Amino acid sequence: MKLVVRVKLLPTPVQAAALEATLHACNQAATWAAGVAFEENARRPLELRKHTYAEIRERWRLGAQAAQHAIKKTCDAYTTLKANLRNGRYGRPGSRRHARASDKPVVFRPEAAQPYDDRMLSWQHQARTVSIWSTAGRLKNVAFTGQAEQLEVLAAHRRGESDLVCQGGKWFLIATCDIDEATANTHPVGFVGVDLGIVNIAVTSDGARHCGRRVRRKREQDRDLRSKLQKKQTKSAKRRAKRYAGREARRNKDINHKISKRIVAEAERTGRGIALETLTGIRERVRLRKPQRTTLHSWPFAQLGSFIVYKAKRAGVPVVHVNPAYTSQECSQCHHIERGNRPAQAVFSCRVCGFVEHADHNASHNIRQRGWMVWVCGAQSTAPELTLIA
Ligand SMILES: [Zn+2]
């Protein structure tokens, strides 16, 4: 399984200046090469190299590897563009958008990502530094930092190229890791149903409720702060709003990592799979009072879902996605579906059999049962795959 890990570089001012000059040089060279590729109709690496390699090395002082990567990056950009044109992402042939995209050479932003291979970049995981090629020579002992879990994955599984990128004045390396998947559990004894919600971020059919009051209050505070800052139109208010947004995103990500880790560990320990709702349409499905609406839109459900899927894959835990229709209105005991089964946000009370349960728990049981049905049906017709979409 391929995975990308992003680490933040902590260059000294001198190192940062060298990285900036390097990235600009690589992208200028690539933009120039893209022009040549367009004029000469040379969009394959071997051909384009003939036309551009010597000049790139001389004019922009790129090393042999960097020059090769700049050329390859240009060819990849044309391949992507061609695929997008074919798939209709720029409208029909002959339309103005289509023409705008296809009638001129590709241009790279000065800060666009540049690939680095092992000859241009080496990692010292213990010291948390990298040694990285630049147009001003090799930069040694450039410090980096990241989340503990990600750094572990990086040290053990990094393979192949990494991308150097600059985002908002900060420097990052995006490294590809290749992780062995655990042998998949092809005979789960059951499923853990996970209901993703607003009041509780995740509730499992085992009764575990993730995200208590504390996280919710913090999110509400963030929201208040954001709207206050948005009302002020000053530059510094905008800057602060941006900084807070970044902080909130990091905290959300951290919470999602923790929740997904616990859910997957529990499923693995008990030999079960995990059942999730397909997330498309979660926003349309849920009708909420106004203050909750912003909370919903600010919570990265998709991220939590994808974290669960990838951690499960690593652990060999099968994941199935189930149809989310009526999971909150269906009685998990007698399967009677009625809107009136849910008299309040948190309460489920079946109008036929009288079953009463916390609404999110009831939903998670429905998801668990549907997950099992999906698994059994899928397993009967085909060999069970790791991820089944129902
Ligand atoms: Zn019932």
Other CB atoms within 10 Å distance of the CB of residue 176: 15
Of 248, 268, 277, 330, the active-site residue reads: 277
Q: State whether 174 and 202 are in the same domain.
A: no
Q: State whether 12 and 140 are in the same domain.
A: yes
What is the predicted pLDDT for the residue at 386? Answer: 34
Q: State whether 12 and 132 are in the same domain.
A: yes
What is the predicted pLDDT for the residue at 213? Answer: 62
* DSSP state letter for 340: G
What is the predicted pLDDT for the residue at 38? Answer: 95
Q: State whether 38 and 130 are in the same domain.
A: yes
Distance of CA 337 from the midpoint of ligand 1 (Å): 8
Domain boundary residue among 152, 178, 204? 178
Residue 163 annotated to the active site:
no
Burial of residue 311 (number of CB atoms within 10 Å: 0-12, 13-18, 19+)? buried
**Quick check: is 379 in a domain?**
yes
Structural domain for 268, as ranges: 191-212+247-389
Q: State whether 270 and 142 are in the same domain.
A: no
Identify which of 329, 342, 321 has the alpha carbon closest to the alpha carbon of residue 386.
Answer: 321
Distance of CA 360 from the midpoint of ligand 1 (Å): 15
**Quick check: is 220 in a domain?**
no
What is the predicted pLDDT for the residue at 248? Answer: 78
Q: State whether 160 and 265 are in the same domain.
A: no
Q: State whether 118 and 203 are in the same domain.
A: no
**Quick check: is 51 in a domain?**
yes
**Quick check: is 37 in a domain?**
yes
Q: State whether 32 and 143 are in the same domain.
A: yes
What is the predicted pLDDT for the residue at 389? Answer: 29
Residue environment code for 347-370, b if the CB has 16+ CB neighbours within 10 A, otherwise e: ebbbeeeebebebbbbbbbbbbbb
Q: State whether 143 and 202 are in the same domain.
A: no
Q: Kindly give the confidence (pLDDT) of every residue in the chain, 390 residues in length, as a single tens digit, with 9 standing for 90 and above.
A: 778 889 999 999 999 999 999 999 999 999 999 999 999 999 999 999 999 999 999 999 999 999 999 999 999 999 999 998 988 888 888 889 899 888 999 999 999 999 999 999 999 999 999 999 999 999 999 999 988 878 988 999 998 899 999 988 899 999 988 887 778 888 999 999 999 876 778 899 998 888 656 676 777 777 788 788 878 778 888 888 777 777 878 888 888 889 999 999 999 999 999 999 886 545 444 544 554 444 445 567 778 888 898 899 889 999 999 988 899 899 999 999 999 999 988 899 999 999 999 999 999 999 999 999 999 887 543 333 333 322
Of 195, 248, 268, 330, the active-site residue reads: 195
Distance of CA 347 from the midpoint of ligand 1 (Å): 13
CATH label of the domain that carries residue 382? 3.30.420
Q: State whether 203 and 155 are in the same domain.
A: no
Q: State whether 269 and 347 are in the same domain.
A: yes
Beta strand 319-322 pairing with 347-349: unpaired
**What's the rounded Cα separation, in Å, for the pair 267 and 192?**
7
**Quick check: is 126 in a domain?**
yes
**Quick check: is 32 in a domain?**
yes
What is the predicted pLDDT for the residue at 299? Answer: 63
Residue 277 annotated to the active site:
yes
What is the predicted pLDDT for the residue at 285? Answer: 46
Domain tally, the chain: 2
**Quick check: is 33 in a domain?**
yes
Residue 195 annotated to the active site:
yes
Task: Provide the Cα torsion 86, 88, 92, 96; round to 10°.
Answer: -100
**Quick check: is 226 in a domain?**
no
Distance of CA 329 from the midpoint of ligand 1 (Å): 10
| Inter-residue contact 277 to 321 (CB < 8 Å) | yes
Q: State whether 310 and 204 are in the same domain.
A: yes
